[in-house]
Amino acid sequence: RDTAEAGASVLPDVSAGGARPGDSALLSTSLGGARLQLLDVSVNALAAAGWSNASDDELSFLQGGGHDPNQRGFTFQQLELSLAGAVDPYFNAEAHLIWFLDGEGESRFELEEAFATTTRLPFGLEQHGLELELGHFFTEFGRHNPRHPHEWDWQDQPIVATRFFSGDGMRAPGFRVGWLTPLPWYSEIHVRLQNAQGETMPSFLANDEVFEARPIGGRPFASSGVRGSDDLVHLLRLVNGFDLGDETSAQL
């Protein structure tokens, strides 16, 4: 998902006036008064081959991204299964499942993202108003972190992103409220709350494994639990996007 695109959705419009239920669904079934639709299934794989004058031990440290090529020879970076659907006409939903081989050659599976987004909240133009997102997702901080590895311009993750946001990107369960304003250019406001613990939150509460592998600032791990909203990650984001040409855009 790229928030630089002016609110463009990867899913057909299943709200009033859009596609009728079942028109383009791969699978459709009724549940109560709603219709569940599977609208898109995609699979992509990333692999790399290369050589280095650094040893594999050095490469595993230098290439800290969870899906970086980090050894001589061949690296299977990931296989991603993406599912997109809708609960007509109330929610769109996405799930992204990852399988890859780690540096020891062991198979690993992870749920990268799984979330639902409302489509019928008021306060704005149709499809350009208020929306609520619930689930497990990447934090929309900067332009790189929300992107999946197959959307990167390079084969490896920037070092600064790995250091601050973990090798697998900053992501956690939570919710987001967004408003795509009716301004003539792309302008959106986000307010987001997410859990602050786990290996994908190394700059916040993290966990004991993160501190054992790479202590942050030399401080010890302190498991305090969630006692209030202060123990969650808060994001306030105002993003303005502009097209500079057919293939170039900028954000502030």
Closest CA to 7 of 193, 186, 206, 154: 186
CB 109, CB 97: distance < 8 Å: yes
- pLDDT over 60 at 136, yes or no: yes
Least confident of 32-36, 95-99, 144-148: 32-36
pLDDT in tens, 147-196: 998 888 888 899 888 888 888 899 999 999 999 888 899 999 999 999 99
Instruction: Quickly state the pLDDT bin for 84 (edges 50, 70, 90).
Output: very high
pTM, rounded to two decimals: 0.80
> How far from 141 is each of 74, 132, 187, 237, 245, CA to CA, in Å?
31, 17, 15, 8, 24
- pLDDT over 80 at 12, yes or no: no
Closest CA to 204 of 184, 188, 224: 224
- pLDDT over 80 at 2, yes or no: no
Q: What confidence score (pLDDT) does residue 8 get?
A: 40
